[in-house]
Structure 1
Amino acid sequence: MLGDGTLSFLKAKEDFKRQIHFNGTLYSDIHPINPTSPYFHVAEELRPFSPEGLHLIVCVHGLDGNSADLRLVKTYLELVLPGSNLDFLMSERNQGGTFSTFDTMTDRLVSEIFCYLEGNNLNPKRISFVGHSLGTIIIRSALTRPQMRPLLPKLHTFLSLSGPHLGTLYNSSGLVNMGLWLMQRWKKSGSLQQLSLKDAEDPRSSFLYRLARSSELHHFRYVILSASAQDRYVPLHSARVEMCRAAVKDPTVLGTIYQEMVHNILGPLMNNDKVTVVRYDVHHALPSTANALIGRAAHIAVLDSELFIEKFLLVVGSKYFQ
C-alpha cells in the first residue's frame, strides 16, 4: 500500500507533466520510488579488491580554478562506490596558470600524473579523467603526448563537464564574447586565444584543430559529455561536440573548419564499437541573478551545485566508474 507521501508525490508529478505538456517518460516512471537497496550499498562482489585493481581518477579544474573545484565529484563518487578501490589525483599544477598556452599546461599535467604515480608507487588497472571547462582540453592534449602511450590501454571513463571541445566559435552571447576578448587582451592569455582558433594565421594550424585531428578519446570505455544551454561561457554545441546551424551556414573557411573538427573528434569514436558515448543536457534551477543572465551560474553549477552533482552521480553517473 502506498503511503500519503508517495501518493502526494505521484499527484504532484502528474500535475507537473500536465502543466508542461510532457508526454515522455521520467526517471521515476521507470524505477521504483522506494529503491530496494540504499544508494550507498556495497555489493559483495565489490568488497575484495587487490592492489592491482586500483582505479585512479584524475580531476582537472578549468580556467582560473584550483584543485578543490571538483571536490564534490570526488566526495560523491567515494560515497556511491564505497566498495571500489578508488584513488584521486586532484590536479593542482596549473593553479594560477590557466592563462598560459595549452602546451605549457599539458606539460604540467603530464608531469604531475607521472610524479603522482611514481611518488606513490601506483600501478592502476584503470584510469579515468574528470575535467571541467578548459580542464577537459588539457586532458585531451595530455593524452596525445608520447609519455602517456603506456597508459592509454588503461583508460576507462572521460567525464567532460562543460568542456569547450570545439572552442568558443559561434557563441551566441555577445556579452560573453566581449568579456573573453577583454580578458584575453588583459591577461595576454594564450589559452583563450587558442580556444578562439586565433593562435595561427591558418585555422588548420591552430591548436584546437590539430588536437581534433589527433584525438585519443577512442581509447576510453566511456566518453560522457555534459552540457547546458544555460551556460553562455561554453556553447552547447561545443560541449556536446556536434554540428551547429551557424557553422553549416557560415560561407567562410571557419564553417568548414568547424565541421572538420566535429568529424575528426567523433569519427574514431563512432568507428570503435567498444566505446560508449553519452551526452547529458542539464537544466539547472537557477535564481534570477546577473550571473545566471550572463551564463556564468550554469557554467560553475556543475562544480558547486551539490544537488546537481549528487543526483547526477547517484542516479546515472556512478555506473561509468564501476
Structure 2
Amino acid sequence: MLRRFKWFIAGFNQQKTAKPKGDAKLLPLPKEYNSSARNRKSMFEAVHEVAIYIHRFHNLDLFQQGWYQIKITMRWEDSEYASLVGTPSRVVQYDAPVLGSDDVLGVWKIDDMDHSFSSQPFRIRYARQDILLSVMIAFNLSLGRIEGPITSAVILKFELLYAPVLENGSNMQDSPDVSPAAVHEFRIPSKALLGLHSYCPVHFDAFHSVLVDTSVHIALLKGGVHAMKKPSRSSSKINEEPASDKYDKENQVLLVKAFLKSRATLLQELQNLSKAINETVDLSGLTSQHDEAKFLRVSAEVGMETSNDDLQVPNSTSGSSSDYICSLQKDELYRLFHSLGDQNLYLWSTFLKFHRAHKTKILDYLRNSWAVDRRSEWSIWMVYSKVEMPQQPTRNEFDDSYHRLRAKVPVHRKITEDPSQAAAMRAELHRRSIAQMRINNRSIQDLHIFGDPSRIPIIIIERVVNAPLRSPSGNSYFRNIDPKDTKTILPEVDSSLTSNNQKGRILKIAVFVHGFQGHHLDLRLVRNQWLLIDPKVEFLMSEVNEDKTSEDFREMGLRLAQEVIAFVKKKMDKASRSGTLKNVKLSFVGHSIGNVIVRTALAESIMEPYHRYLHTYVSVSGPHLGYLYSSNSLFNSGLWLLKKLKNTRCIHQLTFTDDVDLENTFLYKLSKQKTLESFKSIILLSSPQDGYVPYHSARIEQCQSSSGDYSKKGKIFHEMLNNCLDQMRAPSSEQRMFMRCDVNFDTTLQGRNLNTIIGRAAHIEFLETDIFAKFIMWSFPELFR
C-alpha cells in the first residue's frame, strides 16, 4: 500500500517556495523546440494552485469535549474530470504551537491514499475557546494534458473529525474511535480558478457550531511541456495545419487568454491588498516598464476588458481580438505562454511572502470584504419593500364609523384578501424564480446554501416608515405632550457613562427568552450568529421561567426583570473595574410567548431605569396581540383543552378569557404600557406557515377578521393595535429601524403530517435552523453591533 506521511516538527516551521525568475520577459524558445519544424506539436500544461490558510478554530457551541481535527480534500465537481483530483503539494506552518500547551498535540499529515490534508489534533474543553492553527496548505489541481481551461467548478470539502479523550490521556492520533462529526463543502466556480483571494468561514452545522477562520487563495500556474511525435506528412498541402493541430491551437489560445486574465487578476488583487492594509509590496522584479506596456497592449488586444466567462474559442469572424491571437505563430504563442507563466509564478510567490508577513491584516481585510458582500449575495432569497405605517382609527373614530356604517356610509374598507395567504403566494413565486436562476459569479459558494437554492427560506423584508403621530384627539398617550418637549421623553444616559466620548467601553448585552414549555438554549442558533457578528456581546440565556411557563405572565415577567437586572449590574460592575464604561446597549430576543414575557418584564417599575439602554428587539413569532382572532381551529382546540384540563393561566391571558371585561384583560392593559418605544431597532419575525401564532399578531398589524368587526371585540383589538403602533411612532424613534420579516420555509421535504397541518413545523423551524437569522443579521449588521 502506497502511503506517505509528512510530519511536522515544532522547530521546523516552513518549506521552501519557488523563487521568482527575475524579469519575466518573453523568453527564448527551449532547445527541444525547433521553430522550423512546423509539423511538431507542443503541448501546454497548466496547474491551478489552491492555497488554504487556516488561522484559528473557534468553538462556539460544541456539545462534546474531546479531540478534534480538520480534514481537507478537493475535487472537480464534474465527473468527467474525476481522475484529476486535488493533491496537497506543500504545507507551511506559520507559527509553532505554544510550548507547554496540551490543547494542540501531534502533527499535521498528508495522506496519499485519499489526497487529503489533516490538521494537528486539538482538544476542546469549553465554549468560546480559540485554537490557533496558523497553517497554509497548497493543493495542486493539474489540468494534465487538457490543453485549455476546464469549465468545471471545484468542490472544497472540510470534515470535522472527533475522538473522545482516552483515560490514559493519549491524543487523537492514538485513538481508535476517530469519526467524522460534520462536513461543510464549498464550490469554487471556474471563474475563481484564474485568481482569487477570499475569506471562507467554515461553520459546519447546527449541532457542531464552530467557526474556522479560513481564507482561500488561487493562482493559475505553468506546468511542464511535452513534445509530441511528428504528424504524418502524407498531406498534399504541407504548409496547411492538420485538423487536430488546429484544434490544439484553439485550446492553446484559450489557455493563453486564461493566463492573461489570471495575471491581471493576481496583479490587481495584490495591489488592492497592499493598499487596503497599508503595507508596501515589492513588485520590482515583475517586468520592466517596456514589458509591462507590452502585456497591457496584448491584454487589451485579446479582450481583457470583458468578463471572465468570455473565454471562447476564437474564429475568423469574431473580431480583432480573436484575429490577433489567432495570427500568432506557434513559437510566438509558445513564448507568450511561458512568459505569462513566469509572470504568474512571480506574482504568486510574491503574494505568499507578503501573506506570511501580514497574515492577520490580510485576513481581517478579507473578512470585512466578505461581510460587505453578503447582503448582495444573499439578496437572492430576500425581497425588500418599504411601506408607511398605517393610520389606524381611534375608539371615537371607530364609533363614528360604526354609526355611519348603519347609515349605509362606510368609511374604511374591509380587508378582502388574507394577508398570510398573499405572503405565502408571493414567497412561492419568488422560490420558483430562484429555481430557474443561473447563479454565475466568482464568489466561493457555500453549499449549505447554494447546494439547493430552492430549499432555502425566502425572507420578505418590509421596512416600515414611521407615520406622524395621530392628532391629540386620538387615543394616544402623547396627547398632552408639547411637540417641543418630545426630546425629553427618552431618559438621558447617566453622565458617568458619557464623561469621555472618545474613550471607554460600550457594554453590549443580549437577553434570549424561550417560549411556552421551552428550554433556555432554544435560541442558541440565533445567539451563535449574533456572536459571529459581534464576539464581544455578553449574552443571557434566561432560565428563570423554565418549567414555569404555564403561570401568570406577571409572575414570569417579574422573574425575568429581576434576572436581567442582576445580570446587567454584574456585567456593569465588571466593566467598570476594568476601565471606563462609556455606554450600555441592552437587547432582547424572544420566541413565541417569550416576547410577551419580555414586554411584561419591561413594564415592571424596577426595569424603568434600564429603558435608556434598550437597543435592539427581535421578536421571533410572538403573539403580541394574543389570540383574539385566531383562524387555526385545531390549535384553538388545543388551547381550549389546556384551559379546561390544566387551567393554564397564561393561556387564559392569551385568549382574553382571564376576565369577563375585555378592558380588564392582561394583554389589553399590557398594550398601554410603554414597552417598545425606547428600542432603537425593532424586528418582528413572522411566518405565514406558522399556525401556532396568528400571522397578524406576530406582525402587530390589522387582520382580515377584525377589519369589519364593529363589536366591542373589534374595538378592543384596534385599541391594542393602536397602542402598540403608537410606541413605534414615538418622537424618540426618529432614527428607529422598524422591520417586519416574513420567513417562508421550504417544508416540502417534511411531507404532510400533523406538524405541518397544525402549523407547528414552521413555528419550531425558527429554532432548528439559523439560515434566516444569518441572512437578516448579516444584511443589517449595524443593528446587532
Q: TM-score, normalised by structure 1?
A: 0.83
Residue 98 of structure 1 and its aligned partner are, at CA, apart by 0.3
* Compared CA separation, residues 34 and 50, structure 1 to 2 (3 A): farther
The worse-fitting range, judged by mean Cα deviation, of 297-306 and 132-141 is 297-306
1:14-67: CA deviation from partner (whole Å, max 9, x where unpaired)? xxxxxx7659x99xx9xx96569x9xxxxxxxxxx9773110000000000011
Which residue identity lines up with residue 766 of structure 2 in the other structure? V
Q: Which runs of 5+ in 2 are unaligned?
A: 1-150, 154-188, 192-376, 381-427, 447-501, 576-582
Aligned to 1:173: 632
Aligned to 1:263: 722
Residue 102 of structure 1 and its aligned partner are, at CA, apart by 0.4
- The answer to whether 1:183 aligns with 2:604 is no
- The answer to whether 1:128 aligns with 2:587 is yes
Aligned to 1:53: 506
Query: For 2:638 and 2:504, how far apart are their aligned partners in 1?
Result: 48
Aligned to 2:334: none
SS of aligned partner of 2:677: helix
1:237-289: CA deviation from partner (whole Å, max 9, x where unpaired)? 00000001201222321111111111000012123323221000110112223
Q: TM-score, normalised by structure 2?
A: 0.35
SS of aligned partner of 1:54: strand
1:62-84: CA deviation from partner (whole Å, max 9, x where unpaired)? 000011101111111111223xx
Aligned to 1:103: 554
Aligned to 2:174: none
Q: Is the 8 A contact 1:225 1:239 kept in 2?
A: yes
Aligned to 2:538: 87
Residue 111 of structure 1 and its aligned partner are, at CA, apart by 1.2
Residue 133 of structure 1 and its aligned partner are, at CA, apart by 0.6
Q: Which runs of 5+ in 1 are unaligned?
A: 14-19, 39-48
Q: Is the 8 A contact 1:218 1:275 kept in 2?
A: no
Query: For 2:689 and 2:639, how far apart are their aligned partners in 1?
Result: 17
Larger RCO: 1 or 2 (CA < 8 Å, sep 6+): 1
- The answer to whether 1:248 aligns with 2:707 is yes
Q: Is the 8 A contact 1:171 1:232 kept in 2?
A: no
Q: Is the 8 A contact 1:99 1:187 kept in 2?
A: no
Equivalent position to 1:201, from 660, 678, 702 = 660
Q: Is the 8 A contact 2:777 2:784 kept in 1?
A: no
Q: Is the 8 A contact 1:166 1:239 kept in 2?
A: yes
- The answer to whether 1:313 aligns with 2:777 is yes
Query: For 2:597 and 2:609, how far apart are their aligned partners in 1?
Result: 18
Aligned to 2:292: none
Query: For 1:260 and 1:33, how far apart are their aligned partners in 2?
Result: 50
CA root-mean-square deviation: 3.0
Aligned to 2:758: 294
SS of aligned partner of 2:603: coil
Query: For 1:217 and 1:122, how far apart are their aligned partners in 2?
Result: 28
* Compared CA separation, residues 122 and 284, structure 1 to 2 (3 A): farther
Residue 171 of structure 1 and its aligned partner are, at CA, apart by 1.2
- The answer to whether 1:64 aligns with 2:554 is no
1:277-306: CA deviation from partner (whole Å, max 9, x where unpaired)? 100011011222321111011111111123
Runs of 4+ aligned structure 1 residues displaced above 4 Å come to: 3-8, 20-23, 32-36
Which residue identity lines up with residue 742 of structure 2 in the other structure? D
SS of aligned partner of 2:774: helix
Which residue identity lines up with residue 173 of structure 1 in the other structure? N
Query: For 1:252 and 1:192, how far apart are their aligned partners in 2?
Result: 23
Aligned to 2:741: 280
1:194-248: CA deviation from partner (whole Å, max 9, x where unpaired)? 0111111111111100111113211000010000010011011000000012012
Query: For 1:95 and 1:190, how far apart are their aligned partners in 2?
Result: 16
Query: For 1:233 and 1:122, how far apart are their aligned partners in 2?
Result: 41
Q: Percent identity?
A: 35
Map 1:13-24 → 2, pairs under 5 A: none
Work out which of the two has the higher radius of gyration on C-alpha atoms and give 1 or 2: 2
Aligned to 1:145: 604
Aligned to 2:677: 218
Which residue identity lines up with residue 78 of structure 1 in the other structure? L
Larger helix share, 1 or 2: 1
* Compared CA separation, residues 138 and 21, structure 1 to 2 (3 A): closer
- Give the paired residue count: 294
Which residue identity lines up with residue 688 of structure 2 in the other structure? A
Residue 176 of structure 1 and its aligned partner are, at CA, apart by 0.5
